[in-house]
Amino acid sequence: MSQPKIKRRVGKYEVGRTIGEGTFAKVKFARNSETGEPVALKILDKEKVLKHKMAEQIRREIATMKLIKHPNVVQLYEVMGSKTKIYIVLEFVTGGELFDKIVNHGRMSENETRRYFQQLINAVDYCHSRGVYHRDLKPENLLLDTYGNLKVSDFGLSALSQQVRADGLLHTTCGTPNYVAPEVLNDRGYDGATADLWSCGVILFVLVAGYLPFDDPNLMNLYKKISGAEFTCPPWLSFSARKLISRILDPNPVTRITITEILDDEWFKIDYKPPVFMEKAETSLNDVEAVFKDCENHHVTEKKEQQPTSMNAFKLISMSKGLNLENLFEDQGFKRETRFTSRSSANEIINKIEEAAKPLGFDVQKKNYKMRLANVKAGRKGNLNVSTEIFQVAPSLHMVELRKAKGDTLEFHKFYKNLSTCLEDVVWKTEDDMQTQETK
């Protein structure tokens, strides 16, 4: 028999395996218990966030993603907080990273690249129109859904337009070196929109070439190549693709191509389909404020539950005599234990037993799908104590074992007879059981 499984629940979400881990956050697969919808649950430790003075950046990430609803951007559903954690509920994207596709299959054809690049530009254009700049665009932050559509993720380094200084520029150097625009590296301020476009150009190059346009083990040499836009397009690229890449990877942000010009580019326009989607209604940031102000009345309940112990077929066969409800007696006398099966959930069974046992004068203690029922009144051989345990036979079938732990066996038998009449709606009756009942 295997050990009980621990099931963790945060609010209405059942939490599963870890699917990603970073410095300040862990991402777990979770499922909405009300709808069955899979989600990605980003979990942040409040103490770490405060210790490293990351609260404002995290708040910005959440606020940023709540502003965005676009088919090519990972959606943020809601934000929750407990005493120790911040939970960000995100769309679960199943197709993996675009980066993995390049690693596993090498460069892509221009047609396949174009489709992804069009979706990337659509997403970036939408974000920029709402004053949101990503600042860390790279293939690792581009996910694919089940249908192979691109989804931009990880706004941890994004900036809102409100953070632009009086000179109209952003001043934080961030991002991954190979994808960073020259003006970000020179530390004299930069425009978030043109910097994002440079990163899009590097991504376009990587997709069609299969390697980076700017790469060097020496960081200073790398910066020099980026600043001078020192790259060479591979010979298999079409003239129109080379022309577009050169216009995007222009080291001068003032003369660099704009999104409007990209949308009008001859290579880009081939088979282009503008995105069709519903605009998001006005976004409330109340849940974000509640999380960061640490309002206790907004804290989500966080609990760990153990699922019933699963039972293998051999163990079940060895106990098969006990599956018949009528089989409470043996030739040797009264049995000290009995079993029944049920299609109800484990929690429903526990609640029903508790509801039935208390009026019969029993105290109830529960732990990990095991129960201890103790009669408050002493019988012939002291207080009757009954142990119960629920086993999972199949996902929708449980076996319940009731065992006399202490007291008189005859009293146990009487107790079970009384209990069983209260449990009729949770006991699984076979067709034979139903026919037997009808003939009585």
Tokens of 428: 């699984």
Provide, for the chain, the percentages of residues in helix, strand and coil under a 3-state DSSP scheme, each rounded to the nearest 5. 35, 25, 35
Phi, psi torsion values for 257, nearest 5 degrees: -60, 145
Contacts of 281 (CB under 8 A, 6+ apart): none
Tokens of 256: 């660099």
Tokens of 171: 């001043």
Q: Which residue type does 82 have?
A: S
The upper half-sphere exposure of residue 180, i.e. CA atoms within 13 Å in the direction of its Cβ, equals 19
The DSSP element (H or E) to which 202 belongs, if any, is helix 192-209
Residue 97 DSSP label: B
- If you write DSSP's letter for every residue of 319-354 in order, what string do you get? TGGGG-TTTTEETTEE-SEEEEEESS-HHHHHHHHH
What residues are annotated to the active site? 136
Work out the angle at residue 156's Cα, subtended by the Cα atoms of residues 37 and 25, and round it to the nearest 5 degrees. 65
From residue 281, alpha-carbon distances to 69, 275, 278, 288 in Å are 10, 18, 9, 17
Contacts of 212 (CB under 8 A, 6+ apart): 178, 202, 205, 206
Distance CA 44, CA 24 (A): 6
3-state SS class at 17: strand
Backbone dihedral region of 174: left (phi > 0), alpha (psi from -120 to 50 degrees) or beta?
beta
